[in-house]
Amino acid sequence: MYNRRMRGLEHPGRPIYERIKNLQPKCPLCGIGRVRQVDHHLPKSRYPYLAVAPVNLVPVCGDCNFVKLDQIPASKEEQTLHPYFDNVEDERWLRAEFLIHKPDNGDAGTVDWQVRFFVDPPDVWDPQLGARIIHHFNVFHLAEVYEAQVADELDTLGFMLETVFDGGGCEDVRAHLLDVAHQRTRPRQNNWMTALYEALAASDWYCSGGFTLVAAG
């Protein structure tokens, strides 16, 4: 039914396929990629009766569809988030930390840095939901997906922060970063930019001039 009556350009079910694909431009599973196809939340190989059920069809980017494959959850904790039913934006759960490694010889120009994204489920949540988000985060390799976005962002940001620093030093830089983090909480608060900017604001090294080394490196 799905392959012969819905997916092809001339198929009678194609308008429904298109409507689902066009629900939103960005992939709801990673928040980064552009939607390019429709995925079966529960794989049609195992659940053929859900092959054309609209609630089982989710717009996704190519990368998320590729890594998910036909995974079948064996428990509730192994269910990835369903964008139609799982509202996980009431609380903050995506965080990041900015890590630096200073060389033993004290050469400040060769500091290594890294931004690490991770899930920090709120205490008020059912542990099962926290486990699901961690599973979702791992299945779609979201730490790596977000880390891949960071370098370009920090390049541009570094040069902009020089002006802020010249005006009011470290504390102005920190305040600016927190301001951007807050602005980025829309439309959803658990996005990599908010986590990144908060992590940068928490780093004394970054706020007091490290931003120039990061941008140059």
Question: Which residue in 7, 11, 21, 33 binds Zn ion (CB under 5 A)?
Answer: 33
CB of 140 vs Zn ion, minimal distance in Å:
7
Instruction: Give whichever of 6 and 61 is closer to Zn ion, judged by the CB atom.
Output: 61
Token digits of residue 70: 């036909």
30 binds Zn ion (CB under 5 A): yes
Instruction: Give whichever of 30 and 177 is closer to Zn ion, judged by the CB atom.
Output: 30
How many chain residues touch Zn ion (CB under 5 A)? Answer: 6
Instruction: Give whichever of 83 and 217 is closer to Zn ion, judged by the CB atom.
Output: 83
Q: What is the amino acid identity at position 65?
A: N
- Residue 54 · residue 6 · CB < 8 Å: no
CB of 64 vs Zn ion, minimal distance in Å:
3
- Residue 94: phi, psi to the nearest 5? -95, 125
CB of 22 vs Zn ion, minimal distance in Å:
16
Residue 45, burial from CB neighbour count under 10 angstroms (0-12, 13-18, 19+): exposed
133 binds Zn ion (CB under 5 A): no
* Contact window for Zn ion (CB under 5 A) among 30-38, 97-105, 185-193, 209-217: 30-38
CB of 31 vs Zn ion, minimal distance in Å:
7
Instruction: Give whichever of 58 and 157 is closer to Zn ion, judged by the CB atom.
Output: 58
Sign of CA dihedral 16, 59, 152, 170: positive
- Give counts: helices (H), strands (E), the chain: 8, 4
Instruction: Give whichever of 147 and 172 is closer to Zn ion, judged by the CB atom.
Output: 147
Coil, helix or strand at residue 142:
helix
* Contact window for Zn ion (CB under 5 A) among 21-29, 34-42, 113-121, 157-165: 21-29
**Which of 98-105's residues contact partners 24+ apart within 8 Å by CB, and which partners?**
98/199, 98/200, 98/202, 98/203, 98/206, 100/203, 100/205, 100/206, 100/210
Strand partners, 98: 115
27 binds Zn ion (CB under 5 A): yes
* Sites for Zn ion among residues 35-94 (CB under 5 A): 61, 64
Q: Where on the chain is the footprint of Zn ion (CB under 5 A)?
A: 27, 29-30, 33, 61, 64
